[in-house]
Structure 1
Amino acid sequence: MGGDSVKFSDEEEFILRIAEKMRESGGYDSRGRCFGASLAFASVLRHLGFQASLIRWKVLYDNQYADHWAVRLNQDFAIDLTSLQFEVQGEILQQIKSYPANFVSLREYPFEIFLDQFEIGRDAHCFSVKSMHSFYFAMFKYDLAQTFLEGRRAHIVALTSRFAVEYFPLMLLSLNTWAMKRKKKLLCRLRSKGQ
């Protein structure tokens, strides 16, 4: 399955067969779904007894996407169910080092840090803003813990700054959502008083 020059273990071949069944069917379907699709796939792997970790790239110079997600197969390969977003063929097996040049700052997260919130909001097509807040804070806590474990305390300021920059658009979205709900409620109240 993985090409002539690369040999995969029986376990990896099995995982690839599962991935083939879960791949996104078309370019439009895969748009903005990399995180949800990766979480769903990692959840299936977990139920089958495999440990899974998600890998995340920051995407530069792209008006549609801030990041991209896939599931790590091994040291060299990722399983990418939404690769149609950046590759015409949409191959699910991707060499990690061959991702586009604007995919930078690769980070890795164990699926378990997302598990509780993923179980609550299983619809991977669209997570609530509240779920996204939880996912972001889970990543930040994990990154912070890793920074302490690796003895890189000097990097905490940079880590906090990076989190603030990445979290800011979600915070704006939350404020906008709250403002729209408040506006709707006030308009309803005004209409009911006018009758």
Structure 2
Amino acid sequence: MLLTPCEDADDAGVLAYASSQATEAAFGAAFLLLQPSLTHYGRTGRTGFDRTTYIYPSRLVGASTEEMQRRVGRIVRELADLRHQLRKALGIGSDPRTTPRGWRGQIVRFSEAVRSQIDVAYGLIVTEPSYSSKERYQLVVPILDLQDYEQSELDVVVEGKAWLHALFGDPTPVALAIEMIQTVYHPTDVEAAALAIVDAETAARVDHRIAELFDL
């Protein structure tokens, strides 16, 4: 399900994963449950689903406009609930210190398979603390070297932080690429975890930019 606007041909959007399975809901992931038999809008359209479906804003994926073939439905009455679940999944404003085993705010190195696919080595976990502690699907914001990357308006640029020096060993500024937010599967896609923890100021800036991206 598309969560961000895609108006131009070269736009990229962020989508939430949809499944008929309750697997991640059982692990505590944020979700919206749609039941097509109860969810219809008369002449204004339908959801596009033909069976009971779990929308998981706790699993996000990016896609270009050209990869989206056509619109098959939409939600109307459930939109407020979806936004609530999205905010919950992202843990915006939460304090990871309240969940000792939570991974939110931690920087990880991706597996070789992920690195070769997205050409990024590190990411910041932004999954809400409780579900992140289950080490299932993690929402991550890629960390990019500004020397090799054209900065976007929503990016959070960081320099001079102790965790940045500890991670990279040099003062090169980096960008937390908010619009590239995506999902990795902790057991196979995270090669090294807890490499560093971002500072509170950077975490707050990331939360603010993510809220802007999804208009939360």
Q: RCO higher in 1 or 2 (8 Å CA, sep ≥ 6)?
A: 2
TM-score, reference length from structure 2: 0.29
- Which of these two proteins has the greater Rg computed from alpha carbons? 1
Structure number with the higher strand fraction is 2
TM-score by length of 1: 0.31
Higher helix share: 1
